[in-house]
Chain A
Amino acid sequence: MQQISDYELELMKVIWANGDTALYAEIVAALSEKGMDWTKNTIITLLSRLIDKGLLKTNKIGHRNKYTAIVSEDEYQSSQTETFLHKVYEGNAKGLVSALIQKDLLSAADYEDLKKYWEDVKEGVSTQ
């Protein structure tokens, strides 16, 4: 997946939050709520770049252009994590998790949840 800039990510977030699809007017409104009153040219330029990068597609609803995310937020996050993991931890997931725990980015409760999730997955595999 191609890397996208922070501002493009902001646009993607707006579209994801809108149910993976949004009209230009909706995007403007959502950005404005976040205090990002960008000019029309900026917004449309960034949207076109996202289309070029294969994260968005457009189709028409009447006369309007509707932007639809091709890549879901989950997919984007996991692919970004993977890239990050390989780049920084050279694929060592344990290192990443321990860093998260050390920095208190992962609370005890989160850890318990994850553990339960892990157990469930394992059980699911063994009962099959």
Chain B
Amino acid sequence: MNELFKIILSLSLSGTILIFLLLLLRPLYKERLSKRWQYYIWLLVIVRFLLPLTPETSVVGNLFRQTEQRIEQNTMNSTRLPSADSPGSLRTERAPSTELVDIGSPGSAAIEAGGDSYTPPVANTANNKLRIVISENILFSLGALWLVVALLLFVRKITIYQSFVKYVNAGSTPVEDMNLLERFGRILADNHVHGTIDLRANSLVASPLLIGFMHARIILPTTDLSEEDFYYTILHELTHYKRKDMFYKWLVQLTICLHWFNPFVYLMGRETNRLCELSCDEGVIASFPEHSRKSYGDTLLHAISTGGSYKDAIASVTLNESKELLKGRLDAIMKYKKIPKTIQTAAIFITGILIGGAVVLGAYAAPNAKSSSQTDEISESGKTESSSLPDYTIQYEDGVYYIMVDDATEDDKPISSVTNGYKKLVLVREDYYATFGTFDDHDMTSLVNYITEQCNTRLDNNEITQENANIVIQAAEEIQHSYSYRALEDDDVILYNYTQSGYYQHPYLIWIGYNLPANAQSKYNGTLLTLSDQSTMPVWFNEESKKFMSDENAISAVTTLIERMKSQKADSSRPVEAPIITSIEYVGDTDINTLAEKYYTEDELTHFSAIFPELDSRTQQEYLDHMFENDRISFFSCCIGELEDTNIQKDAVERYTLKAYEEDKINFFAVLSGMLDESSQRNWLEKCKKDGKTNFSILLEEDDYSFDDFLDKNFPDADLSGSVFTDDDFFNSDFTDDDFPDNDFLDEWNDFQKGWEEHEQQQKEITNLIELNRLTKQELSTELQTFLDSCDDRKWYLIDAGSGLQYLYYNGLPHTYAYEPNIIKNVGANDRVIIDIVNFDFFNTPRDRVIEENLGNYVLLAFSYTPDNQDAGYSLEVTYNGLPVTYEIVQSR
């Protein structure tokens, strides 16, 4: 009991200091860092308050131990001293009276010398013993008092909450308005909420609130809300639901109960409550265009005027709390701006300081073996002094940096290690490996920061040891350093991501990297190419390829290739700029199929992948099948992304994913799963989890170690669909894990989704002939941009850019827009394609056509259409809110 109480006292002190540290740093982050960060950073304080984890030497731990030792020493000295000198002590123990008799003997001299500063030892010992007994007694009663109060408080909070939930439920009526329920259901679906939430109304509640852990309900004070108010209210509550704020609030409540004697935990309670709302608001408005923010603020204001008076002060999650808080929230909403990247690094920095603080502060750890603790400490500190990291080597293979620590062998390497375009670090030790990443070439300059951040989160979760983290961070430093060095000096083709940079351009194979950094350009030989439109473009050659600079045929092949690449990547986010030719190989007139076969059998991956995109799609399929059957994973991972037609590629990826899953080929699955779109990744993740294939599901887990994920991982059952647990069950029954229903609806849901996908597939067969993409001007080539700038405002254009691609362009729209393609098939005559540009309506425009960000007031759609009967052609009509517009057809060159 006493040890427990001491631990609590030390935790309380430790946590309080951390609160001060957080408040001290507040001017640094208050206006700059996201409210979400400010909210979750309190979790660190809570952890400090709750978990008695402590390093060997910590500030608070030492403080406590010192105090303890001082008391102990006092007793020790006084009890031990007499026994230290045998003659004196014997006598003292036998009979105090003899001592008085023997004054002047050697024994008594010793006593006098040793006990100089002490009053007669006997009385002293007794006195001290008494003092210790008394203080132990006091400590015990205080400890008992603390425990009783803490328990009472917690039980009381739970019962109050329970009865609150009961009252609110009993007085509530289920919302039966189908229109409202369906709107609610759609908002849930749009926000990827997996669980089921009941919607109820109770005119007694003060504001909309979310209650229930297992069987969540949103209770509205009234259903008589405007469409917007309803939308925002629900969105707000859903954000709480998705962030599992209920658990957070209860964690705070638990802390308050355990540290009830500490006034600062109440301060913490208020702060977290306030930040919970602020960060929730922030999450809600993050996805809004600016003008909607005001409407959201209006909703908050409306909410306080409609509510009843029944209010839960403990832990329900409500839309508004008090008027004072409301004012702060409205302020924050209007001031909201996205946090720039640089500031986010500051967030990491401050987080680092605070975590460091939390660890250093530590807590009092109950001394289990008092006698040996001293020596332990010495040997421990000796170890840290002499401990340098174990030796390791870094190997690079197919996008993976293996950190091979000396105790590891090749067998310890994971089997699946090929990534698709992305890179990662794998720490390999004896019978152990851990993966870090992923990142790509663009992240290389900040690799150390990125990896350090990952290590810190994993350290917090106790997923890796400090030593392993240190190794990985040090290795990352080396890799980052050597990378920046190599990028400037070395001409290793790997740097240019060879999977995408070998090309066949008759009669050469050309390896090309692009976006050569400006400061590296001077190290290479540059020349100007004249493109077919008479514009010029600088190209660089390295030591190996520079002999081709004077070869006219080679230069013309390079020119053709670059033009081809430019046109292919015209709409991609990484345009072809500053290319560097790293290697050219003359292959003559040999047929590409023969070449492919040769390189495939000779295991020449870089050569093969250059040829692969040129093969016809049937041959490509055959090769992929062969690679899959024969486990040629590196070939497979390079080629699967090179299928030209996006639909064929998508089909292929889905087919092979299924195959890899069924045949347990985890390495293929790893490559393929990265290429799936987000929703099918999510489906696969659920399937893997359900089938218990953890090794597969790990591949699909998000890398982002957020609090949500932490909760998902640790309370996987909290988010169940269709579970029928109520709060009362939650608190009253001694349930075991088995009592939690499994994901009952998963099967039904998957079946349902499969049916839906089939339905969509049929729809797609009709519309996949049309390609229609929304663009920003920045995504176009500079020529096209200049061309657009020369266009008149408020005039519709159909721009023919050659190669079958057309752009629809209009400048000067007064608002954002959505669009609806529509094909009317006329058998035997021309098809009619109608593109309707419509006013963007926040509530009624289907979500997939909604523009997330205001792209500017222009319409820019890339458009192509292939009618069934190619000879017949088609007519294109553009309508604006249903009314036809006339457009001018222009050539861009």
Query: Which A residues are closer than 8 A to B by beta carbons?
Result: 5, 7, 23-25, 28-29, 38-42, 44-49, 51, 58, 60, 62-65
- Give min CB distance, B191 to chain A, whole Å: 11
Considering the complex, give the chain A residue whose CB is closest to the CB of B185: A39
List A contacts of B189 (CB < 8 A): 39-41
Known: A25-B751, A48-B722, A63-B690. A41 touches B196 (CB 8 A): yes
**Which single member of A5, A48, A58, A64 contacts B198 (CB below 8 Å)?**
A48
List B contacts of A38 (CB < 8 A): 178, 181-182, 185
Q: A42 and B185: CB pair below 8 A? A: yes
Known: A25-B751, A64-B744. A39 touches B722 (CB 8 A): no
- Give min CB distance, A112 to chain B, whole Å: 40
Considering the complex, give the chain B residue whose CB is closest to the CB of A24: B748
The reply on B146 being an interface residue by CB < 8 A is no
- Give min CB distance, B756 to chain A, whole Å: 10
The reply on B473 being an interface residue by CB < 8 A is no
The reply on B223 being an interface residue by CB < 8 A is no
Considering the complex, give the chain B residue whose CB is closest to the CB of A8: B176
Q: A39 and B182: CB pair below 8 A? A: yes
Q: Mark B237-276, 1 if CB is under 8 A from A, else 0.
A: 0000000000000000000000000000000000000000
Interface SS majority for chain B:
helix
Known: A28-B748, A49-B174. A39 touches B199 (CB 8 A): no
Considering the complex, give the chain B residue whose CB is closest to the CB of A60: B744
List A contacts of B215 (CB < 8 A): 48
Considering the complex, give the chain B residue whose CB is closest to the CB of A28: B752
Instruction: Taking A25-B752, A48-B196 as given, write out 10 further A-B residue pairs in contact, using a Cβ cutoff of 8 Å, ordered by the A residue number.
Output: A7-B178, A23-B748, A39-B182, A40-B189, A44-B721, A44-B722, A45-B196, A58-B724, A63-B742, A65-B744
Interface residues of B in 695-754 (CB under 8 A from A): 721-722, 724, 741-749, 751-752
Query: Which B residues are closer than 8 A to A by beta carbons?
Result: 174, 176, 178, 181-182, 184-186, 188-189, 193, 196-199, 215, 690, 721-722, 724, 741-749, 751-752, 755
Known: A49-B174, A63-B747. A42 touches B182 (CB 8 A): yes
**Which single member of B176, B197, B724 contacts A5 (CB below 8 Å)?**
B176
List B contacts of A24 (CB < 8 A): 722, 745, 748-749, 752
Distance of A23 Cα from B744 Cα, bound (Å) = 10
Q: B181 and A45: CB pair below 8 A? A: yes
Distance of A38 Cα from B722 Cα, bound (Å) = 16
Q: B724 and A51: CB pair below 8 A? A: yes
Q: B748 and A65: CB pair below 8 A? A: yes
Distance of A24 Cα from B745 Cα, bound (Å) = 7
**Which single member of B186, B198, B742 contacts A45 (CB below 8 Å)?**
B198
Interface SS majority for chain A:
helix
Distance of A23 Cα from B749 Cα, bound (Å) = 11
Known: A7-B178, A24-B745. A41 touches B185 (CB 8 A): yes
Distance of A64 Cα from B690 Cα, bound (Å) = 12
- 30 residue pairs from A and B, CB less than 8 Å apart: A7-B181, A24-B745, A25-B747, A25-B751, A29-B755, A38-B178, A38-B182, A38-B185, A39-B188, A39-B189, A40-B188, A40-B749, A41-B196, A41-B197, A42-B185, A44-B196, A44-B722, A45-B197, A46-B181, A48-B196, A48-B722, A49-B198, A60-B741, A60-B742, A60-B744, A63-B743, A64-B745, A65-B741, A65-B745, A65-B748
Q: B744 and A42: CB pair below 8 A? A: no
Q: B184 and A42: CB pair below 8 A? A: yes
Most buried by B among A7, A25, A46: A25
**Which single member of B178, B185, B690, B722 contacts A65 (CB below 8 Å)?**
B722
Considering the complex, give the chain A residue whose CB is closest to the CB of B196: A44
- Give min CB distance, A32 to chain B, whole Å: 9
Distance of A28 Cα from B193 Cα, bound (Å) = 19
Distance of A9 Cα from B427 Cα, bound (Å) = 59
Q: A42 and B748: CB pair below 8 A? A: no
**Which single member of A44, A51, A62 contacts B747 (CB below 8 Å)?**
A62
- Give min CB distance, B804 to chain A, whole Å: 37
Distance of A81 Cα from B471 Cα, bound (Å) = 77
Considering the complex, give the chain B residue whose CB is closest to the CB of A26: B748
Distance of A40 Cα from B745 Cα, bound (Å) = 10
List A contacts of B182 (CB < 8 A): 38-39, 42
Considering the complex, give the chain A residue whose CB is closest to the CB of B176: A5
- Give min CB distance, B550 to chain A, whole Å: 67
List A contacts of B751 (CB < 8 A): 25
Distance of A99 Cα from B742 Cα, bound (Å) = 52
Distance of A41 Cα from B752 Cα, bound (Å) = 14
- Give min CB distance, A6 to chain B, whole Å: 8
List A contacts of B748 (CB < 8 A): 23-25, 28, 64-65
Distance of A39 Cα from B743 Cα, bound (Å) = 18
Distance of A42 Cα from B751 Cα, bound (Å) = 18
List A contacts of B743 (CB < 8 A): 63
The 4 residue pairs across chains A and B that have the minimum distance between CB atoms: A39-B185, A24-B748, A41-B185, A65-B744
Considering the complex, give the chain B residue whose CB is closest to the CB of A10: B178
Distance of A38 Cα from B180 Cα, bound (Å) = 12
List A contacts of B188 (CB < 8 A): 39-41
Considering the complex, give the chain A residue whose CB is closest to the CB of B183: A39
List A contacts of B746 (CB < 8 A): 63
- Give min CB distance, A27 to chain B, whole Å: 9
- Give min CB distance, A22 to chain B, whole Å: 10
Considering the complex, give the chain A residue whose CB is closest to the CB of B181: A42
List A contacts of B741 (CB < 8 A): 60, 65
Distance of A23 Cα from B752 Cα, bound (Å) = 11
Distance of A71 Cα from B746 Cα, bound (Å) = 27
Q: A39 and B198: CB pair below 8 A? A: no
List B contacts of A44 (CB < 8 A): 196, 721-722, 745
Distance of A41 Cα from B724 Cα, bound (Å) = 14
Distance of A51 Cα from B724 Cα, bound (Å) = 9
Considering the complex, give the chain A residue whose CB is closest to the CB of B195: A41
List A contacts of B193 (CB < 8 A): 41
List B contacts of A39 (CB < 8 A): 182, 184-186, 188-189
Distance of A40 Cα from B722 Cα, bound (Å) = 10
- Give min CB distance, B743 to chain A, whole Å: 7
**Which single member of A23, A40, A62, A63 contacts B196 (CB below 8 Å)?**
A40
Distance of A23 Cα from B750 Cα, bound (Å) = 13
Distance of A63 Cα from B686 Cα, bound (Å) = 13
List B contacts of A46 (CB < 8 A): 181
List B contacts of A60 (CB < 8 A): 741-742, 744
- Give min CB distance, A2 to chain B, whole Å: 11
- Give min CB distance, A51 to chain B, whole Å: 7
- Give min CB distance, B684 to chain A, whole Å: 17
- Give min CB distance, B826 to chain A, whole Å: 29
- Give min CB distance, A21 to chain B, whole Å: 14
Q: B199 and A45: CB pair below 8 A? A: yes
List B contacts of A25 (CB < 8 A): 747-748, 751-752
- Give min CB distance, B716 to chain A, whole Å: 15
Considering the complex, give the chain B residue whose CB is closest to the CB of A53: B174
Considering the complex, give the chain B residue whose CB is closest to the CB of A44: B196
Distance of A58 Cα from B189 Cα, bound (Å) = 24
List B contacts of A64 (CB < 8 A): 744-745, 747-748
Distance of A46 Cα from B197 Cα, bound (Å) = 11
Distance of A23 Cα from B743 Cα, bound (Å) = 14
Considering the complex, give the chain A residue whose CB is closest to the CB of B750: A25
Considering the complex, give the chain A residue whose CB is closest to the CB of B190: A39
- Give min CB distance, A85 to chain B, whole Å: 24
List B contacts of A5 (CB < 8 A): 174, 176
Distance of A47 Cα from B751 Cα, bound (Å) = 19
- Give min CB distance, A64 to chain B, whole Å: 5
Distance of A29 Cα from B721 Cα, bound (Å) = 19
List B contacts of A42 (CB < 8 A): 178, 181-182, 184-185
Distance of A91 Cα from B186 Cα, bound (Å) = 44
List A contacts of B174 (CB < 8 A): 5, 49
- Give min CB distance, A76 to chain B, whole Å: 18
List B contacts of A45 (CB < 8 A): 181, 196-199
Distance of A40 Cα from B741 Cα, bound (Å) = 18
- Give min CB distance, B333 to chain A, whole Å: 27
Distance of A65 Cα from B196 Cα, bound (Å) = 14
Considering the complex, give the chain A residue whose CB is closest to the CB of B744: A65
